[in-house]
Chain A
Amino acid sequence: MSISKPAIEVQGLAKVFDGVTAVKDVSFSVPRGQTVALLGANGAGKTTTIAMLLGLILPSAGRILMLGEDMVRHRHRVLPMVNFSSPYVDLPRRLTVEQNLLIFARLFGVARPRTRLAELAAALDLTPFMKRPSGQLSAGQRTRVSVAKALVNEPKVLLLDEPTASLDPDTADWMRGYLKAYQKRTGCAVLLASHNMAEVERMAHEVLMMRQGEIVDRGSPAALIARFGRRDMEEVFLDIARGVPPAPGRAHDAVRTP
């Protein structure tokens, strides 16, 4: 794949479930080494978009190229270089953390799986509970294991749906730093769906704002904040979710709550 080509290219993506449009004409790209965030209220189409990119849902229309390959036709050529974490999936709870991660290391064809597991355990502070069944972990510990699973194959494309949702603020902040360092080291492209605006401001190079299945606005966090005349992404999010148009002159006004 050419280095100049984006890691993810999405053109005219749409999904209709039994006559209900979940995603409508979505187009975007994620360059290598960059993070693009999907933002939107619940039901905006973020998870459906990510699931289509992963091949878990077949699109009704549109094209998805990942690392230069068509994800609908040739996803198995790309999947060894892709990974994800999502609150909609889990790992078998009776298996230990080590067993679960080892299974996925082998499924992804990791060359030295036990060495990779040791690296991940050290980096994500999993060592104390590697031998414990996954079902006995706290929500925060399970989230870290889920991220470890997502990084087990050192992916070139990483799709993260709410990666820090169950983490305390300190651990969540540390996790964001870890993911940014990983991206800097590997040049990984990250597509992130999150409701945590601080996370988006810190991690995302570009933000795609979704409402009712469509991208209604886009730009870097700084550009969106400036265009909407707000102090942070939290306020921009509320404006867009409520259909308030950009108003640069309104800078630093407080967002009124209904």
Chain B
Amino acid sequence: MILRHTYLMRTSWPRIFELMYWPTIQMILWGFITRFLLTNSSYVAQAAGVLVSAVLLWDVLFRGQLGFSLSFLEEVWSRNLGNLSVSPLRPYEFLLSLMAMSLLRTLIGVLPAAGLAIVFYQANLFDLGLPLVAFFSVLIMFGWAIGMMVCALILRVGLGAENVAWLAIFLIAPVSAIYYPVSILPEALRIVAWILPSAPVFEGMRAILIDGVVRYDLMAHAFGLVFLYLVLGAGLFLYAFHVARRRGLLLQIGE
């Protein structure tokens, strides 16, 4: 059995990558949080619920991406992709259905958690007001864009890459400024943060909850970027689908 799993691992770089991934990401993320809290604990204490709101908004991005990728993976796991590909369903309709499923899964996951946050911590995400709609829209669309890229990778290399569906989003967590401002990051990572739509959303959230200011500049920044990522994600997915047809992978996709 050890030999069987060693053979599998040797032929699949995503499986080896995953082993190293979680400890590294956790260490980086909590290292930055610790650094921020050591110097700014009173600042955070002034804004009740800022961390809880950050957790909930982060979950919109996480669930949005996961909901998209898992809905796609369900078709791969059940060997149904071939059936769908020979139905009148067009690739863009398939993408739209995955987005709809992602929205549904996200609402089912996040709304009860948002309710519990009010009951347990008196932290009301809906205090963000109308900007919450914009934050939610940017984050779920970014989740879809990453989901499309993950699905493109699975189409390209097979189910060996399925774990990427779970861990892809955490690659951007340290630079999304979820629990701490972008300014806490090293200079090079700040540049990375500002080319992601997630960082301006979390900065915008803190501006409302801590300073009571709605930053429309950050919203415009986030929307502009997220549309670019959506176009990039859709392009990669459609290209991967085309390559899968050229290489005959749609009937064979597996480990």
Q: Determine if B79 is an interface residue (Cβ-Cβ < 8 Å).
A: yes
- Interface stretch (choices A79-87, A212-220, A248-256): A79-87
Q: Mark A87-102, 1 if CB is under 8 A from B, else 0.
A: 0111111100000000
A107 touches B250 (CB 8 A): no
A48-B248, A93-B78 as given contacts; A55 in contact with B88, CB under 8 Å: no
Say yes or no: is B87 at the interface (Cβ < 8 Å to chain A). Answer: yes
Set A89, A91, A94: member contacting B251, Cβ < 8 A: A89
- Contact A91:B80 (CB < 8 A) given known A17-B247, A56-B250, A57-B245: yes
**Are B245's CB and A55's CB within 8 A?**
yes
Q: Which residue of B lies closest to A60 (CB)?
A: B246
Q: Given A88-B251, A89-B251, A93-B78, does the pair A55, B90 have CB atoms closer than 8 Å?
A: no
Q: Which residues of A contact B250 (CB under 8 A)?
A: 51, 56-57
B85–A56 touching, CB < 8 Å: yes
Quick one: given A90-B80, A91-B80, A93-B78, are A79 and B86 in contact (CB under 8 Å)?
yes
B74: interface (CB < 8 Å): yes
Q: Are B78 and A56 in contact (CB under 8 A)?
A: no
Residues of A within 8 A of B246 (CB): 57-58
By a CB distance below 8 angstroms, the chain A residues around B248 are 15, 17, 48, 51, 56-57
On whether the beta carbons of B90 and A56 are closer than 8 Å, the reply is no
Given contacts A89-B80, A92-B80, contact A82 B86 (CB under 8 A): yes
Q: How far is the CA of A92 from the CA of B81 in the complex (A)?
A: 10
- Chain B residues closer than 8 Å to A90, beta-carbon distance: 78-80
Q: Which residues of A contact B75 (CB under 8 A)?
A: 92
Q: Which of B49-88 contact A (CB under 8 A)?
A: 74-75, 78-88
Assess whether A149 is interfacial by the CB under 8 Å rule: yes
Is A76 within 8 A of B251, CB to CB? no
A86 / chain B contacts, CB cutoff of 8 Å: 82, 251
Check B88 against A56 for contact (C-beta < 8 Å). no
Interface size on A, residues (CB 8 A): 29
The answer to whether A120 has its CB under 8 Å from any CB of chain B is no
How many angstroms between the C-alpha atoms of A109 and B74 in the bound complex? Answer: 23
Question: Which of B74, B86, B251 is A83 in contact with, Cβ under 8 Å?
Answer: B86
Does A54 interact with chain B (Cβ within 8 Å)?
A: yes
- Give the nearest-CB partner of A134 in chain B: B78
Which chain A residue lies CB-closest to B84? A107
Q: Does residue B89 face the partner (Cβ distance < 8 Å to A)? A: yes
**A89 and B82 contact, CB distance less than 8 A:** yes
| Residue from A47, A76, A88 in contact with B88 in the complex, judged by beta carbons closer than 8 Å | A76
Task: Report how far A104 CA is from B75 CA in the complex, Å.
Answer: 14
Q: Which residues of A contact B81 (CB under 8 A)?
A: 89
B87 x A107 contact (CB < 8 A) = yes
Q: Is residue A129 within 8 Å, beta carbon to beta carbon, of the partner chain?
A: no
Q: Which residues of B contact A91 (CB under 8 A)?
A: 78, 80, 83
Interface string of B205-248 (1 = CB under 8 A from A): 00000000000000000000000000000000000001001111
Chain A, residue nearest B80 (CB): A92
A88 touches B83 (CB 8 A): no
Whether B245 and A79, one on each chain, are in contact in the complex, defined by CB atoms closer than 8 angstroms, is: no
A109→B78 contact, CB < 8 A:
no
Chain B residues with Cβ below 8 Å from A58 are: 242, 245-246
Q: Distance (Å) between the CB of A81 and the closest chain B CB?
A: 9
Which of B83, B250, B251: most chain A Cβ within 10 A? B83
Query: When chains A and B are docked, how far (Å) is the Cα of A104 from the Cα of B89?
Result: 10
Whether, in the assembled complex, A28 has its beta carbon less than 8 Å from a beta carbon of chain B, the answer is: no
Given the complex, which residues of B lie within 8 Å of A88, measured CB to CB?
Answer: 79, 82, 251-252
Q: Which residue among A84, A92, A108 has the maximum number of chain B CB atoms within 10 Å of its CB?
A: A92
B157 smallest CB distance to A (angstroms): 15
Q: Which of A56, A58, A76 has the most CB of B within 10 A?
A: A56
Q: Is the CB of B85 within 8 A of A55?
A: yes
Please indicate the chain A residues that have their CB under 8 angstroms from the CB of B90 in the complex.
76
Contact between A79 and B87, CB atoms less than 8 A apart: yes
Knowing that A51-B251, A88-B251 touch, tell me 10 more A-B residue pairs with CB under 8 angstroms.
A47-B251, A51-B248, A55-B86, A56-B85, A83-B86, A86-B251, A88-B82, A89-B81, A90-B80, A109-B88
Q: Which 8 A-B pairs have the closest CB atoms?
A: A89-B82, A90-B79, A92-B78, A57-B248, A107-B87, A88-B251, A58-B246, A79-B88
Interface residues of B (CB under 8 A from A): 74-75, 78-90, 242, 245-248, 250-252
27 contacts between A and B (CB under 8 A): A51-B248, A51-B250, A51-B251, A55-B85, A55-B86, A55-B245, A56-B250, A57-B248, A57-B251, A58-B245, A76-B90, A82-B86, A86-B82, A86-B251, A88-B79, A88-B82, A89-B81, A89-B83, A90-B78, A90-B79, A91-B78, A91-B80, A92-B75, A104-B87, A107-B87, A108-B87, A109-B88
